[in-house]
Structure 1
Amino acid sequence: MRILAAMSGGVDSAVAAARAVEAGHDVVGVHLALSRAGGTLRTGSRGCCTIEDALDARRAADLLGIPFYVWDFSERFRDDVIDDFISEYRAGRTPNPCMRCNEKIKFAALLERAIELGFDAVCTGHYATLIDGENGLELHRAADDAKDQSYVLGVLTAEQLAHTYFPLGTTPSKALVRAEAAQRGLSVAQKPDSHDICFIPDGDTRGWLAEKVGSETGDIVDRSGAVVGSHEGAHGYTVGQRRGLKLGVPAADGKPRFVLEIRPVTNTVVVGPKEALAVSEIAGGRFSWAGAPPQEQTFECEVQIRAHAEPVAAVAHVTVDGVRVEPAHPLDGVATGQTAVLYVATRVLGQFTIDRTVSAVPVGV
């Protein structure tokens, strides 16, 4: 196959490209320039897609003896990921930019260009596996549960899965990938993993959003609507947050309170007891299936609402309005804008963006 290897400059994508070459494929490496800030350099283990990362990717490609290019996707990344991130926070939702990047950049814009240029598939260093099932190609969890990235790949469609290649999915551990990189002479063998949001490399999401969205003071209220404090920008809060609330009115029971809801229209933050974070139902209208769709409108599954959260047994209902999920026990601290990924055993069925939740604890209880 003709393979376009997406090389981020990290150890995973470098080893994935190496395995593609070793498997006999015709491989070309490409690094995506997602920022036009030419002086951007990696800080510690934060961020990715910097000048340093591009140089690391080029060195890996040179060692593997494959052609290498840098493609400027900064405008598309700004429009589809950064601007989306800002608008979601403005709307009081909590987005996952990695999901959006996979959906719009790595497996849409990049894959589209790859196919136009005659490539058969895009190779990445994601930890996930593809299996030929009875009804077509299926996306499954990786062998290494600790590194499994199937959650952030839940946005991929059947057509996109048909043109993807995940060489690392069956590897039992990241340690083995690093050892292989060292054995191959790749300079990135011990390079730290990137984390946090790549376009906010210092990790100060609240400060970054304040610059982009602005800060406007507003009320912090309890579930009854009583004002218990004030804030300097609702975008700086997330559902489930406890620290930094600085409430002027203590709870009647003396227990700590948590952020339960963000209301952007009124610029209000709602707080309440920890028990009120429990959610008995989630739903969303924007959804997609990773491969063949489920054959039944109502089916048993597992739902996962964060990249490293434990999956929870649930019953899902596909309706004209989208997907509604009833977990076997309440989910904790769910925010609208999060992605819910549905599984059956290790297989990813699909995903939806949460836009409605039902509290397991009624107001006044």
Structure 2
Amino acid sequence: MKTHTLCLLNLVACCAVHAAPYPEALNDAAIKVERLDSILDHSLIVGNGDINALVWNERGATTLMLTKNDVWDARLLTRNDPPLPTLKRIKELGAEGGAVGATRHGFIFPEGYVFSGTDSYHAKPYPCPILCGKLILGDQNSSWHRIRAQGTHNDLDTQDGLAVMRIEGKTEASNGYAYGPMDLSTDQYSKLTIKLSGTENARFYIDVMGADNGILFKTDWQETPTKETVFTYDLPKGQVIGRLILYTWTEDGKRAENRFHDLSLSGTGGRKDIEFSNAQAVSGRLDIAKAVATIDGESAITVRALADRNVFLIRSGQSVKLVSSNSLDVPEAAGGVKDGVRFLHKTIPGDPDWKGMEFAVAVVEKGDLKAVAIVTSVA
């Protein structure tokens, strides 16, 4: 394992660099993202045609969501599907102009056939691609991130301790922002206090979520006061707070604002203020010529996918964590560290027509270089 690791890093270091034509045009075509704070809306994608990574900043840490084109759960359980249609039956339906009830989800049923249950395509989430894992560089901190965006305009602007949440769009549209992760006992922090004001067409809603992501407390939709008003809520005892979620609603579709002047938890553990100040904005740039993503910050991070092998090469002085991405229908990945190599290994079960597959992700470090390899059992 150590020999393979050294060979991999030496090969990476010795790769020849070839100049690309039209350097100025390629430089001008670079993709720039001013804020890498959302995997869906504000992120960079890096890949070589087989392995891919979405790169963004999650709770203050540069994060890569790893995928590979042939990592699929290809099961298709057809035991509940109706019989295949016959040419005779198709001609009969054609002559009748298409009998009502003879088709469902694209199936053509024999005459008198009663279909019950769910067909193979709708019964399970598979066949579908499977995420290989998540790579986190550095430490994650508690922060605000958007979880709902029903408006045509959705934002949370935080300046000087004041948070202004805005929404505009359809009537009764809402958006939401969550703060976490947290790990606070309601026995020590039994009260939630909020001071807010807003526009006449706004409403607010607060959820206090538990460590298991269940709802511990909710306010339901409340009219937003136009003048600063303090609301205090008692929280249920014996629970652990995992997240706080704030929602804003527009009654008429026009731009609505909730201005959050203060948000805190208090009790026998004292007072804990929930900060509204913005985390440092992190921007990114994708160099088209070199296929390198650069993430700005206190120390720049570069990410590239090597063209001739399924390896990401990352330059960063931060610590690295490899996290499995789990789903209900696939067994959890095995993971660990062996000879200094972090790894994940997952087996995707098969069906009578498909034998299943396996994949592995491995991460090795040398100085500020990290090499991330993804391999599969598919030939």
**Rg larger in 1 or in 2?**
2
- TM-score tier by shorter-chain length is under 0.3
Return the structure number with greater strand share: 2
- Tell me the TM-score normalized by structure 2: 0.22
* TM-score scaled by length of structure 1: 0.23
